[in-house]
Structure 1
Amino acid sequence: MIIKKINHWKSYISKLLYILTKRQKMLLVGLVVLAFISSILQTLGVYMISPLVSAMTDSDVFLSNSIIKRIAENSGTNDVRQLFGIICTLVALIYVIKEIVSVFQLWYAAKYGAKVQKELSEGVIRKYMYREYDFFTSYGTANIIRDVTNDTNAVYVILTCLSSLITEAITTLMIIIYIVVADVKMSIVVCLLAMICVFIMYRFFKNIMKRSGEEARVRYAENRKVLLESVEGIKEIQVMKKQNFFLQRYSETYQKTQAPQIKQSVATSAPTYVIEGIFVVGIMLYIGISASVDKSFFSKLPMLASLLVGAIRLLPSVGRISNNLNNINYYLPGLNNIFDVIEKQSRFTKNGLEDKIDSRNALPFNEKLELKNICWKYENSDKKVIDNLDLEVVRGQSIGIIGKSGAGKSTLADIILQLHIPQSGTIVLDGANIMDYPYEYSRVIGYVPQSIYLIDGSIRENVAFGIDENEVDDDKIWNVLKKAQLDNFVSDSENGLDTIIGERGVKFSGGQRQRLAIARALYREPQILILDEATSALDNETEKAFMQEIEHLYGQITMIIIAHRLSTVRNCDKVYEIIEGKAIEKNKEQIF
C-alpha cells in the first residue's frame, strides 16, 4: 500500500518535472532553498522561545539554559535582566528576518508560478495551433479554452502547494526533532498526533478531491460551451426571443460548476478545525496523565511550556500540509491533461512544421497541381467521402467544382488546403509532394471561405491578417482592395484603412465582407485562389455583381471555385461535379 502511494507521487512529480523547462526546474530549486531557509528560521524562532519562558518562571533554570550560557560568555554578563533583553532582541530579530524571508518566498513562489502558467499556456495553445484541423472540429472550443486557461492554472496551484508543502514539512520535522531532544515522551505524542491527523485527512478527502477536480474540469467546459453559444448566437437568440432558454442553461451549468468547488472549499478548511481538536485533546490528555503520575511534573513546567509553544506551532503546519495535499489531489486532473497535451500531442512539432515557420519561399508553380487517387473519410466511419479522386488543375485555369449538398465539395477544398490529410493518395505541385513542403505550399494558396472570419479590428488588420503592424505594406493593401473592388468604399470612409469593422465584420454588408476576404487572400500573393462557396450566402443579384467583379482575375491567377449554383461557375474553363467521391468533368454546353 505504502509503496503504491509512493509510486503514485513519483508519477505525479515526474509529470510535473516533464512539463517544466530546464530553466523552470532551476528556478524551482531556488524555491526549495527558500522553503528550507524559511523552515530553519521558523524552527529557530520556536527554539529561542524556551529561554524566555524559563526566565519568566525560574531564573536559575534560565541561566542554566545552553543558549543563555553562550550568550553570557559572548556578552560578558550574567545579569538576568540584561540577558533577558538580549534574548528578546534576538527573538525579535529572528522573527523579523523570518517574516522578510517568508514574504519574499511568497512573492518568489507567486511570480514563479505565474511565469510557469504563462509559458505553459503559450505551450498548450502552440501545440493545439499545430494540431490537424480535424482535432478542432471534434474536440470543441470550450475544451480548448479550459485546457489553455483552467488546466494551466491547475499546474500553477500545484506548484504553489508544493512550495508550501516543502516549507511546512521541513518546519514540522525540525520542530519534532527539537521536541524529541527535549522530551522523548511528548515527542512521541506529537508525532503520533501529527501522523494521525495527516493520514485521516488525506485518506478521507483523497478520492473526494480527485473526483471533484475531474468533475470541475468537465463542468467548467460545459459552462463555457453554453456561454460561447449564448454570445455567438445572440442574433438568432434575440430574433427568436430565446434569451430565457439560454439564461436557464447557463444558470444550470454554472450551478453544476459550484458543487465541486464547494467540496474543495470544505476539504481545505475543515481539516484545520479537526486537526486543532485532535491536537488539543491529545496534548491535554498527555499533560493530565503526566501530572497525575509524575511527581516532578511541575518542576518541568518551564520546559513543558516551551514544548507546548512548539507543539502549538505545529498546528498550522500540519493543517497546511493536509490542505496542500487535498488541493494537489483536486488539481491533479488538470496536471495530467497538460502532461498529455505536451507529451502526446506533438506530431506536427516533430514533423518540423514549426521549424519552417519563418520560411518565406513559396513552392514553384509553373505547370499544374495534381490530385492522384485521393481517398478520405471521417474518423470512425467506413464510408469514403472522397474515393480515389483524380483532378488536374493547370496553371492559369479556372476550375469550377459543383455537386449536391454533402457530396464532398468543401471536403475536397479542405484536402487541397491541407486541412484534411487524405488516408491515401498524393497531391503534387509541379512534381513536388506537398506533404513534404507544408508551409512552402501554403504560400501558394489563397482561400475565401463561405463563412468569413473577421477580427474586431481595422480594415488594415483584417487584410494583412496575422502580419505584424511594422511589416504591413499599405500600398499593397490598397492594391488588393482595388482588385477586390473595395478601394472606393474604404477611401470614402472617414478613417480609411483604420476603419473598425466590428466583431465578425458586423458593420459591413455581406458583399463587402466577401470582398474584404478576397483582398485578404490576394494580399498573400497566392498563385492558386480557392473560393469555397464564397457567394452562397449572397442573394442572386449580389452574387452576380460579385462574380462580375472578380472576372478580371481569370487568367491572372489559377482559381478553384466551389459552388452550389451553376451560375457561379459559368465562366470557368472546366467544371467538375463531385459524384460518389469522384470528380467527373462535365460538358459545359450541356449543363449551361
Structure 2
Amino acid sequence: MKSQIHKLFALINRRTKSRLIMLFALMVVTAVLEMVGVSMFLPLLQLLATPESALKNSGIAFLVNLFEIHDTQQLIFIFSFFLFIFFAFKSIFLAVIIFMQNRFITRHRAFYSQDLLRLYLDQPYVFHLQHNTAELIRNITTLSSRIFAKGLLPILQIAMETMIIIGMVIVLVLVDPIATLIVGGFLGGVLAIFYLAIRHRVREWGSHVIGYDSEIFLWINQALGSIKETKLYRNEHYFCASYAKPSNAQAVFQAKSTTVPHLPRLLIEAVAVGAVALLLVVLTMKSEKSATEAIPQIGLFAIVALRLMPSLSKLVSAITLLRDNEAAINTLYDDITKTPSIAEIDEPGSEVPPMALKHNIQLIDVDYKYPETDENVIDKINLTIERGQSVAIVGGSGSGKTTLVDLILGLLEPVGGGVYVDGRNIRENMISWRSLISYIPQEVYLTDDSLRRNVALARDDHQIDPRRLAEALEMSQLTDFVRGLPAGSETTLGERGARLSGGQRQRIGIARAIYNDPEVLVMDEATSSLDSATEREIAAAVNNLAGDKTLIIIAHRLSTVRHCDKIVIMDKGKLVDHGTFEDLAERNPLFQNMIELASVSSDDPI
C-alpha cells in the first residue's frame, strides 16, 4: 500500500498537496475533539453510578467550585448541559470538515481531469498515433475520477479514522490498559485476518474493472462512430453483443468489489459483541470493586465501542477501496511518467524570435520512420518551396505524401535532416510556425455547434470577425448555402456535421482555413469528396490565392493541380521527380501513367 500512496502523491500537483496538508491539520483537531468528547462520559457515568467517587474527579470538582453546587442532581444537569454544548460544537466542526473534504475531492478531481486533457492535447502528434482514443477518454473521465474518489478520499478517511481510533485507544489505556490490550488485540486480530484474506482478491477485481473499461469505451466509440454503416448493414446486433461481453464481465467484478467495503461493518458488529463479552469477563476477573463501581468503566468501554465501530468500518473499507483502485493508480502513473510535461513541449525561450516566411521553405535530407519500426517511410527528401508558390504532391497510395506534409506542418519530427523556413529550423519555434499555417484535411472535423463557430474554430463569439467570416464563406462557395439555412450562420450543424453533405463539410473546412488568413495553405486531398463542378470552382478560388499565399496540395485528381507552379512525384518514400505539369507529362513515365489512369477514371478530362 505504501507504493500506491507514493504513486498517488506523484500524480497530484503541488496545489493539491498543499490543500491536503491543511486538511490533515484539521483532522488532528477532529481526533482531539473526539478523544475529549469520549473522555467526558466517564465522569458523567461516575456521577450517575457513584456520586461520592465522582467528586474526586478534577473536572467535576472544578465545576462544583465554579458554580458553588451542593446538589448532585444540579451537578448532573450542568455537566450534561456542557456535554451537550461540546458535542453540538464537535458535530458542527465535523460537518464542516466533511464538506471541506468532499469539496476538495470534487474540485481537485475536476482540476486534475482538466490538466490531464491539456497534457494529452499538448503531446506530439505521434503520441496520438500510438494511443487509442478510447483509452485516453477513459483516463480523463473514469480513471481521473477514481484517483480521487477511490484514491485520495480513502487516504483522507484512513488518516482521519486512524487518528480518531488512536485517540479512543489512548482514553481507554488511561482508564484500564490491560483490558484495552486484550480487547484491542482480539478486535484488531480479527480485522487483520479479514484484510489479509481479501486484499489480493480486491486488487485483482479492480484490475479487471479497469481493463474492461477500455473495451467498453472502444465498442461504444466504434458502434456510434460507424452509425451509417451499422444501420445500412444491420450490424446493430454485432455491436450490442460485442459491447455486452466486456460490460457483463465487468459487472461481475464490480459486484464483488462494491460488496467488500460493506463487509467490515457487518463483521465489526458481530465481533463487537464478542469484544464486549470478553471485556465483561476481564473486568469481572480483575476488578476488586463492586459491580456498581465498575459500571462507569464498563459504560465508557461500551461508548467507545459504539464510536469505534463506524471508525473501524470506515478504516477497513478505505484500505479496501485503495487496494481496489491499485490498477487505476498504476495505469495513470505509468502513462503520466512516460509522458513529457506541458512545459517540455513546443515552448520556445523568450529570446527566440518568431518564424517568418519571406523567401522559402526547404526540406534538406529529410528522413522519417514511425516509432517502433525499422524502415524509413520518408527517405532523403530535398525540396525547396518558394514563398507564394503553389506546389502539388502526387503519388500512389503509401508513397509518403501525407507523411511528408505532416513533417512540413511540424506534426512529425524528422529522424534525419530538417525542415527550414528562411534558413531556420521550424523546431526552433513550433508555435510560431504553426500560426503561419492553415490545413484542410481530407475529412474535416466539425463540432456540434453553429456554422459560424465551426468556421472560426476555437474562438468565442466576441472574437469572430464578421468581415473575415463573410470573405471565407464567399471564397469557399458557401454564401448561398448559408443564406438558405434556417438560422443562417448560426445554424447548428449537428455532431460531426451529420446534417451536411460531404461536399458541404469539405467547403466549411476550406472556409475555416481561409478565415485564419495563413501564410501557407496545406490541402490534403481536400476536394476529393466534391463534385466536379464544385471542385473546379474551389480550385479556381484557391488558385487565386497563389502568389499571395504559399500553397501545398496533396491531390488525388490531377485536374486540380494542373496549374500548380511545381508538381512533386513521390514513390516509396522518395522524391523521384518534380517540375511543371507539362514537363513531367513529357518526360516522366510514372506521371504519364498517372495521367493515363486519371483520364480513364476521372470525371474530368486532363
In which range does the TM-score fall when normalised by the shorter chain? Answer: over 0.9
Aligned residue in 1 for 2:281: 288
1:189-200 alignment, distance < 5 Å: 189-200=182-193
Q: TM-score, normalised by structure 2?
A: 0.90
Structure 1 pair 194/352, CA: closer, same or farther in 2 (3 Å)? farther
Contact 2:354–2:429 (CA under 8 A) maintained in structure 1: no
Aligned residue in 1 for 2:577: 585
The whole-number CA distance in structure 2 between the counterparts of 1:492 and 1:399 is 35
Aligned residue in 1 for 2:301: 307
The whole-number CA distance in structure 2 between the counterparts of 1:182 and 1:528 is 83
Contact 2:451–2:489 (CA under 8 A) maintained in structure 1: yes
Aligned residue in 1 for 2:245: 252
Match of 1:238 among 226, 231, 234: 231
Aligned residue in 1 for 2:154: 161
Q: CA deviation at 1:350?
A: 1.7
Aligned residue in 1 for 2:163: 170
1:368-387 alignment, distance < 5 Å: 368-387=360-379
Deviates more, 1:254-263 or 1:121-130: 254-263
Match of 1:453 among 442, 445, 452: 445
Deviation string, structure 1 residues 183-232 (Cα, Å, up to 9, x no partner): 12211023313432442233223222222222222211211111111221
Deviates more, 1:437-446 or 1:45-54: 45-54
Structure 1 pair 131/153, CA: closer, same or farther in 2 (3 Å)? same
Match of 1:559 among 541, 544, 551: 551
Aligned residue in 2 for 1:58: 50
The whole-number CA distance in structure 2 between the counterparts of 1:72 and 1:478 is 88
The whole-number CA distance in structure 1 between the counterparts of 2:111 and 2:64 is 54
1:335-354 alignment, distance < 5 Å: 335-346=329-340, 349-353=343-347
Deviation string, structure 1 residues 255-287 (Cα, Å, up to 9, x no partner): 222233222212211122223322321331342
Consecutive unaligned residues of structure 2, counting only runs of 5 or more, are 587-591, 596-606
Provide the identity percentage. 28
1:95-106 alignment, distance < 5 Å: 95-106=87-98
Q: CA deviation at 1:347?
A: 5.4
Deviation string, structure 1 residues 311-331 (Cα, Å, up to 9, x no partner): 332222111111111112222
Match of 2:59 among 56, 64, 67: 67
Aligned residue in 2 for 1:334: 328
Consecutive unaligned residues of structure 1, counting only runs of 5 or more, are 1-7
Match of 1:317 among 311, 314, 325: 311
The whole-number CA distance in structure 2 between the counterparts of 1:303 and 1:160 is 35
Q: CA deviation at 1:447?
A: 0.6
Q: CA deviation at 1:355?
A: 7.6
Q: Is residue 2:218 matched to residue 1:225? A: yes
Aligned residue in 1 for 2:468: 476
Aligned residue in 1 for 2:401: 409
Q: CA deviation at 1:390?
A: 1.7
Contact 1:168–1:318 (CA under 8 A) maintained in structure 2: yes
Contact 1:417–1:442 (CA under 8 A) maintained in structure 2: yes
The whole-number CA distance in structure 2 between the counterparts of 1:73 and 1:265 is 55
The whole-number CA distance in structure 2 between the counterparts of 1:354 and 1:487 is 40
The whole-number CA distance in structure 2 between the counterparts of 1:589 and 1:578 is 15
Deviates more, 1:13-22 or 1:218-227: 13-22
Q: CA deviation at 1:545?
A: 4.4
Aligned residue in 1 for 2:391: 399
Deviation string, structure 1 residues 430-483 (Cα, Å, up to 9, x no partner): 111001110111022111000110111112211111123222211111112222
Aligned residue in 1 for 2:34: 42
The whole-number CA distance in structure 1 between the counterparts of 2:450 and 2:302 is 69
Contact 1:463–1:523 (CA under 8 A) maintained in structure 2: yes
Q: TM-score, normalised by structure 1?
A: 0.92
Letter in structure 1 aligned against 2:585: E
The whole-number CA distance in structure 2 between the counterparts of 1:435 and 1:305 is 75
* Partner secondary structure for residue 410 of structure 2: coil
The whole-number CA distance in structure 2 between the counterparts of 1:306 and 1:273 is 23
Aligned residue in 2 for 1:418: 410
Q: Is residue 2:386 matched to residue 1:364? A: no
The whole-number CA distance in structure 1 between the counterparts of 2:178 and 2:305 is 13
Structure 1 pair 258/234, CA: closer, same or farther in 2 (3 Å)? same
Q: CA deviation at 1:297?
A: 5.9
The whole-number CA distance in structure 2 between the counterparts of 1:100 and 1:412 is 66
Aligned-CA RMSD value: 2.3
Letter in structure 2 aligned against 1:589: A
Contact 1:130–1:349 (CA under 8 A) maintained in structure 2: no
Match of 2:132 among 131, 140, 145: 140
* Partner secondary structure for residue 400 of structure 1: strand
Q: CA deviation at 1:512?
A: 1.9
Contact 1:146–1:217 (CA under 8 A) maintained in structure 2: no
Contact 1:275–1:315 (CA under 8 A) maintained in structure 2: yes
The whole-number CA distance in structure 1 between the counterparts of 2:334 and 2:349 is 22
* Partner secondary structure for residue 362 of structure 2: strand
Aligned residue in 2 for 1:432: 424
Letter in structure 2 aligned against 1:178: V
The whole-number CA distance in structure 2 between the counterparts of 1:527 and 1:497 is 26
